[in-house]
Amino acid sequence: MENPVELDTQWLGRLLKKHYKDEEPADIIKVDVESAVPKGENYTSIVMRVKMNIVTHSGCKKTFSLIVKSAKTSKEAAEALKGFSVFRNETKMFITMLKQMEALMEEFGDKRDTLWATLYGYEPYSIMVLEDLKEKNFALIDRTGWQDLDHSLLVLRSLGRYHAMTKVLIGRGLIDDSDKGHFFAGMNNPLKISVFNGAIHMLSKALINKLGSWPAGWEDIGKRIQKQKDVLCNTLEELYINDDKKFEVLNHGDVWSSNMMFKKMEY
């Protein structure tokens, strides 16, 4: 296509460089630190929100917010998670897999938002500094209130995008056997059996006794689940061992409401 006017592309490049340079922080005026999640919402790490009042190179005053995740947590949680390398795995996901997915989106001209926050930096493997999605009007939903149909469909579509990208990366050999971990529910070890059986016991108890937000009408299902807890545990292991490679993708690993944020649009 012929340009209607002759463009000085070097001048355009200088404009972009100046724009981004002007927006960079030149000085930090004030820093406030607060917990980013309510008590009890996160047990694998400590999550802090760091708000900074800054002055940019252009002289503008702005407020900037970061999320700082630390691997430090309670002794009880640390003991329970020992051997799972949770923080190390999450950091490696950000610096390898998600970067490859971003490159894939760029390759195919996918201009939609990414499904994850930007990682600004890290210390291996104890601290991660992330974009604060709250600044973009993302918010958590009440995990005790369940998701409605619209939220659930959005989650499934988003997981579909995520899985599809990993399928391409697997096909290109960018994700191989060395990148694969072991799905917790498919592992046969005392910790998994203890945690899983405990969760099934508490679920069945809530159904039978109508605890929390569970209404009446689920009592019989609660009793059936309680009787089958050992069978359920073994069945999960069988599904993991006898998997169909056709459906092999990189699994998110922990899809529940406390690990999701939703953006509310005003238009």
Rounded-to-10 torsion of CA 180, 186, 191, 195: 120
Q: How sure is the predictor about 152, in pLDDT bands with cuts at 50, 70 and 90?
A: very high
Average pLDDT, the chain: 86
Task: From residue 105, give the alpha-carbon distance in Å to each of 126, 168, 251.
Answer: 29, 11, 19
Task: Note the pLDDT tens digit of each residue in 190-237.
Answer: 777 777 888 888 999 999 988 877 888 999 999 999 888 878 877 877
Residue-level pLDDT at 5: 62
The predicted model gives 172-200 an average pLDDT of 78
| Position 6 in a domain | no
Dihedral Cα 53, 55, 56, 58, nearest 10 deg: 140
Residue 49 has pLDDT above 90, yes or no: yes
**More confident site: 72 or 108:** 108
Angle at 102 between CA 24 and CA 186, to 5 degrees: 125
Task: For the full predicted model, state whether its pTM sits above 0.75.
Answer: yes
15 found inside a domain: no
Report whether 54 contacts 117 (CB < 8 A). Answer: no
Residues 130 and 187 both lie in one domain: no
Residues 120 and 166 in one domain: no
Query: Is there a domain that residue 201 lies in?
Result: yes
Domain of residue 240: give its range: 145-256
Residues 57-65, mean pLDDT to the nearest whole number: 91
Q: Where are the beta strands (DSSP E) in the chain?
A: 25-35, 46-56, 61-70, 119-123, 127-131, 138-139, 262-263
- Beta-carbon contacts of 73 under 8 Å, excluding residues fewer than 6 positions away, are 43, 44, 45, 46
Domain count, the chain: 2
First to last CA, the chain: 35
Domain shared by 103 and 197, yes or no: no
Q: Is the pLDDT of residue 76 over 70?
A: no
